[in-house]
């Protein structure tokens, strides 16, 4: 997390959460079911509908995997630097490295239009559970049930889009206990306003990632446009005059990506024994690959930096998650929880815990091949992804909407095409290095004598094959991609682009694996978890929150320090602390402050709070979430969790787990005194303490 980007995890692992009895400050609450009682009881805070609505409409989801918020009437959006890094990377070139130098548009004209960015603002939520359940008849075989559910969801979304013009997603909550339709207003004309240098945004680098105390200015500002002009925003967050203070009740509105809190033990063991070790092996492999590529030249380093950051972040997060599952104390607690739950619910026939375990056994069997072929592990190349999408788009768009793979449903095509036709730069040398390595991995994992592997390699070594594919494909040309997409299935079949032909070659076996996954693993697991959920609803009522699903949630907690190995960690750091931290590390990267900061030191009020921690319940995907006070004013922005927070994937604890935020005052101080960005600070403070 410091770097709470969501890590999207294969569908199979999506499970629901039903915290029987939430600890204080626990929970990633639905916006239509806020924890009113807990807030009243623990903090004497009355949640009003108006307060919730304002916060919901002010919150922004970055479709690429993060959170943010509107912070001015003129469409200004604040998020983390590491959420915006992908956009900065796409706007950069050998001659302009915005991640390194930072950026500030002093006028609207200087704002840079982002490539393929999509922001989502949640407009309303409606319960469509009855409609979905009506389509899936009791007693249906799992395969049929899966098709029926997919069909009704695709249809509901398409009808909603037609009726409202809004992005419409059916979200599976409580893993099938409920289905909600989320409608979003979309912004795709988004422009870059301000970003600091990476050296201060990610000060301390990988060593300090997921650590506290911290001293990062992990922020970036964008502006949403409509019809060529800054969007006029009714609901945006007003800037707090003082920011967060020790002991304050604070709220976080963001999009936590995924949690596993109600996983059965068998499911947690699968994560521990297979999923996380496998993901870590692949992450480390890619980390080493991109590091060695990056070391070859400064330009290589620039090309790979955003991707490398994501990999390193994922590696550190997953090491923390795996360490949690390898800790006997945590597994014993989870076992106790499962035993109590089973005891409470009595016998359920057929036993859903058994059903989950059975589904996992099937999952285990196809796990490697599915990762290689369907999730693209063997084809670590952006150009391959484009080819795969074109091939499937041709095939799926020829089918009725209800029968399509979820990502090709009619209502999703705009978002899909925004990515597919992106003009983001593609570096063929980097593509070759990545594809070559992953083809090598394919041989290692499936065997050199496998007939499909031999067809994929076409008698060449991985290096030769990758070099030739990347050299010969024409898919780097956006116009050609569009032409192929417009030509539909016939154009794909007629194409002699070698990457298209490779994507076609692996499509059938990949689809076959996906079908097994969806029908023999995911569907039985959904049904089993739904039965556990229903039993728990009966036993305990519905006052609970579902596991995270990269949809908008409310978390809350107190600004509070903690004790670590007998040492008190205060909740705040200061701007002065950043300078001390750099000096303690000889100002050597990643502990070097940008020269702009060194030169501005005498102007800065070193006592201004820089970062702070709170007990709010967050996880990857919450990156960039606004932190607000009782008055709904912005007091900070989430950018990380400490190392102890990584187990929040499985279990909430407020002993030492903390969410880490940039303090609102540090943002103003830096904008005014380091970046000479008074106009931006004025825009933020337009309604001080309103």
User: CB-wise, 315 or 404, nearer to a copy of itself?
Assistant: 315
User: CB-wise, 329 or 423, nearer to a copy of itself?
Assistant: 329
Shortest distance, position 19 Cβ to a copy of itself, whole Å:
24
The span of 190-198, 436-444, 484-492, 627-635 binding a copy of itself (CB under 8 A) equals: 436-444
The span of 63-71, 363-371, 505-513, 583-591 binding a copy of itself (CB under 8 A) equals: 583-591
Q: How far apart are CA 599 and CA 56, in angstroms?
A: 40
Q: How far apart are CA 669 and CA 196, in angstroms?
A: 13
What tokens appear for 506 in the block?
């692996």
Q: Please identify which residue in 27, 177, 256, 462 interacts with a copy of itself, judged by CB under 8 A.
A: 462
What tokens appear for 329 in the block?
């104390």
Q: Which helix (H) or strand (E) holds 557?
A: strand 553-558
Q: Please identify which residue in 8, 94, 163, 448 interacts with a copy of itself, judged by CB under 8 A.
A: 448
Q: Please identify which residue in 463, 474, 501, 543 interacts with a copy of itself, judged by CB under 8 A.
A: 463
Q: Please identify which residue in 65, 84, 371, 440 interacts with a copy of itself, judged by CB under 8 A.
A: 440
Q: How far apart are CA 459 and CA 473, in angstroms?
A: 18
Which of the residues 611 through 650 are near a copy of itself (CB under 8 A)? none
Which of the residues 296 through 315 are near a copy of itself (CB under 8 A)? 296-298, 315
Q: Please identify which residue in 131, 291, 428, 489 interacts with a copy of itself, judged by CB under 8 A.
A: 291
DSSP string for residues in 211-266: -SS------EEEEEEETTEEPP-SS-PPBPSS---TT-EEEEEE------TT--HH
User: CB-wise, 124 or 278, nearer to a copy of itself?
Assistant: 278
Asked if 345 and 539 count as a contact pair (C-beta separation under 8 A), the reply is yes
Q: How far apart are CA 123 and CA 160, in angstroms?
A: 13
Q: Please identify which residue in 40, 94, 163, 207 interacts with a copy of itself, judged by CB under 8 A.
A: 207
How far from 15 is each of 30, 345, 624, CA to CA, in Å?
Answer: 16, 19, 24
The span of 92-100, 154-162, 456-464, 475-483 binding a copy of itself (CB under 8 A) equals: 456-464
Q: How far apart are CA 560 and CA 247, in angstroms?
A: 6
Q: Please identify which residue in 140, 323, 333, 426 interacts with a copy of itself, judged by CB under 8 A.
A: 323
- When asked if residue 559 is in the footprint of a copy of itself (CB under 8 A), the reply is no
Q: Please identify which residue in 400, 447, 678, 689 interacts with a copy of itself, judged by CB under 8 A.
A: 447
User: CB-wise, 210 or 550, nearer to a copy of itself?
Assistant: 210
Q: Which residues pair with 187 in a beta bridge?
A: 119
Q: Please identify which residue in 460, 501, 543, 600 interacts with a copy of itself, judged by CB under 8 A.
A: 460
x-or-dash string of contact with a copy of itself, 587-606, rule CB under 8 A: -x-x----------------
Residues 6+ apart with CB under 8 A from 632: 51, 54, 55, 237, 238
Residues 6+ apart with CB under 8 A from 105: 111, 112, 191, 192, 193, 194
- When asked if residue 585 is in the footprint of a copy of itself (CB under 8 A), the reply is yes
User: CB-wise, 50 or 584, nearer to a copy of itself?
Assistant: 584
Q: How far apart are CA 89 and CA 99, in angstroms?
A: 7
Q: Please identify which residue in 285, 482, 630, 672 interacts with a copy of itself, judged by CB under 8 A.
A: 285
User: CB-wise, 292 or 340, nearer to a copy of itself?
Assistant: 292
Asked if 276 and 258 count as a contact pair (C-beta separation under 8 A), the reply is no
Q: How far apart are CA 455 and CA 621, in angstroms?
A: 39
Q: How far apart are CA 207 and CA 362, in angstroms?
A: 38
Q: How far apart are CA 67 and CA 628, in angstroms?
A: 14
Q: Please identify which residue in 13, 73, 148, 205 interacts with a copy of itself, judged by CB under 8 A.
A: 205
Shortest distance, position 508 Cβ to a copy of itself, whole Å:
24
- When asked if residue 565 is in the footprint of a copy of itself (CB under 8 A), the reply is no
Q: Please identify which residue in 459, 541, 568, 602 interacts with a copy of itself, judged by CB under 8 A.
A: 459
Which of the residues 124 through 153 are near a copy of itself (CB under 8 A)? none
DSSP string for residues in 64-125: TTEEEEE-STT-EEEE-HHHHHHHHHHT-BTTB-HHHH-EE-SSGGGPEEPSS--EEEEEEE
User: CB-wise, 17 or 648, nearer to a copy of itself?
Assistant: 648
Asked if 528 and 599 count as a contact pair (C-beta separation under 8 A), the reply is no
- When asked if residue 531 is in the footprint of a copy of itself (CB under 8 A), the reply is no
- When asked if residue 213 is in the footprint of a copy of itself (CB under 8 A), the reply is no
User: CB-wise, 509 or 590, nearer to a copy of itself?
Assistant: 590
Q: Please identify which residue in 33, 131, 186, 272 interacts with a copy of itself, judged by CB under 8 A.
A: 272
- When asked if residue 97 is in the footprint of a copy of itself (CB under 8 A), the reply is no
Q: How far apart are CA 193 and CA 219, in angstroms?
A: 11
* Binding-site size, a copy of itself (CB under 8 A): 43
- When asked if residue 346 is in the footprint of a copy of itself (CB under 8 A), the reply is no
User: CB-wise, 159 or 211, nearer to a copy of itself?
Assistant: 211
Q: Please identify which residue in 443, 470, 502, 532 interacts with a copy of itself, judged by CB under 8 A.
A: 443
Residue 157, Cβ neighbours under 10 Å: how many?
Answer: 24
- When asked if residue 326 is in the footprint of a copy of itself (CB under 8 A), the reply is yes
Q: How far apart are CA 340 and CA 576, in angstroms?
A: 49
How far from 459 is each of 30, 437, 452, 455, CA to CA, in Å?
Answer: 54, 16, 12, 8
Q: Residue numbers of the site for a copy of itself (CB under 8 A)?
A: 205-207, 269, 272-273, 277, 281, 284-285, 287-288, 291-292, 295-298, 315-316, 322-323, 326-329, 331, 440, 443-444, 447-448, 457, 459-464, 585-586, 588, 590
């Amino acid at each position: 997390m410091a770097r709470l980007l969501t890590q999207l995890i294969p569908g199979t692992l999506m499970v629901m959460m039903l915290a029987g009895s939430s600890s204080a400050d626990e929970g990633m609450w639905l916006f239509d079911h806020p924890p009113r009682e807990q807030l009243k009881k623990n903090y004497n805070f009355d949640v009003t509908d108006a307060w919730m609505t304002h916060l919901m409409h002010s919150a922004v989801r970055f479709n690429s995997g993060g959170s943010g918020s509107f912070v001015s009437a003129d469409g200004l959006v604040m998020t983390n630097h590491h959420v915006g890094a992908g956009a900065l990377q796409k706007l950069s070139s050998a001659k302009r490295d915005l991640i390194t130098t930072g950026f500030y548009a002093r006028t609207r004209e200087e704002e840079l239009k982002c490539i393929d960015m999509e922001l989502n603002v949640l407009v309303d939520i409606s319960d469509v559970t009855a409609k979905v359940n009506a389509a899936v008849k009791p007693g249906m075989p799992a395969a049929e049930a899966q098709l029926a559910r997919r069909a009704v969801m695709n249809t509901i979304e398409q009808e909603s889009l037609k009726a409202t013009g809004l992005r419409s997603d059916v979200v599976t909550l409580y893993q099938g206990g409920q289905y909600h339709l989320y409608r979003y207003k979309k912004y795709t004309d988004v422009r870059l306003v301000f970003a600091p240098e990476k050296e201060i945004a990610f000060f301390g680098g990988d060593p300090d990632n997921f650590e506290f105390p911290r001293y990062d200015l992990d922020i970036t500002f964008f502006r949403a446009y409509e019809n060529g002009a800054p969007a006029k925003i009714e609901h945006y967050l007003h800037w707090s005059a003082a920011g967060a203070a020790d002991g304050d009740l604070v709220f976080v509105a963001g999009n936590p990506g995924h949690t596993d809190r109600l996983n059965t033990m068998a499911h947690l063991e699968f994560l521990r024994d297979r999923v996380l070790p496998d993901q870590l092996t692949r992450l480390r492999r890619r980390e080493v690959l991109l590091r060695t590529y990056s070391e070859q030249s400064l330009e290589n380093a620039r090309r790979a930096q955003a991707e490398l950051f994501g990999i390193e972040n994922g590696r550190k997060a997953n090491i923390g998650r795996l360490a949690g599952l390898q800790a006997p104390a945590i597994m014993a607690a989870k076992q106790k929880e499962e035993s109590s739950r089973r005891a409470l619910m009595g016998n359920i026939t057929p036993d859903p815990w058994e059903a989950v375990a059975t589904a996992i056994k099937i999952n285990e069997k196809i796990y490697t091949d599915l990762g290689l072929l369907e999730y693209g592990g063997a084809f670590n190349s952006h150009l391959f992804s484009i080819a795969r999408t074109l091939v499937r788009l041709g095939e799926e768009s020829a089918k009725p909407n209800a029968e399509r793979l979820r990502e090709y449903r009619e209502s999703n095509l705009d978002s899909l095409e925004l990515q597919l036709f992106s003009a983001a730069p593609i570096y063929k040398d980097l593509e070759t290095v990545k594809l070559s390595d992953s083809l090598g991995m394919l041989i290692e994992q499936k065997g050199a004598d496998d007939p499909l592997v031999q067809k994929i390699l076409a008698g060449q070594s991985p290096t030769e094959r990758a070099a030739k594919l990347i050299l010969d494909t024409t898919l780097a040309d956006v116009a050609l991609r569009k032409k192929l997409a417009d030509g539909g299935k016939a154009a794909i079949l007629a194409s002699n682009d070698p990457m298209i032909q490779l994507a076609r070659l692996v499509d059938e076996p990949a689809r076959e694996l996906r079908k097994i996954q969806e029908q023999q693993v995911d569907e039985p697991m959904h049904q089993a978890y739904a039965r556990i959920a229903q039993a728990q609803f009966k036993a305990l009522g519905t006052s609970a929150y579902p596991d995270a699903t990269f949809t908008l949630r409310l978390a809350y907690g107190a600004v509070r320090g903690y004790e670590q190995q007998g040492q008190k960690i205060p909740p705040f750091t200061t701007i002065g602390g950043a300078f001390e931290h750099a000096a303690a590390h000889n100002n050597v990267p990643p502990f070097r402050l940008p020269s702009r900061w060194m030169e501005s030191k005498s102007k800065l009020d070193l006592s201004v709070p820089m970062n702070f921690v709170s007990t709010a319940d967050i996880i990857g995907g919450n990156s960039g979430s606004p932190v607000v006070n009782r008055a709904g004013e912005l007091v900070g922005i989430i950018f990380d969790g400490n190392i102890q927070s990584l187990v929040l994937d499985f279990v909430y604890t407020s002993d030492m787990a903390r969410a880490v935020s940039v303090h609102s005052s540090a943002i103003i101080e830096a904008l005014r005194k380091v970046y000479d960005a008074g106009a931006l600070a004025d825009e933020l403070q337009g309604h001080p303490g309103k």
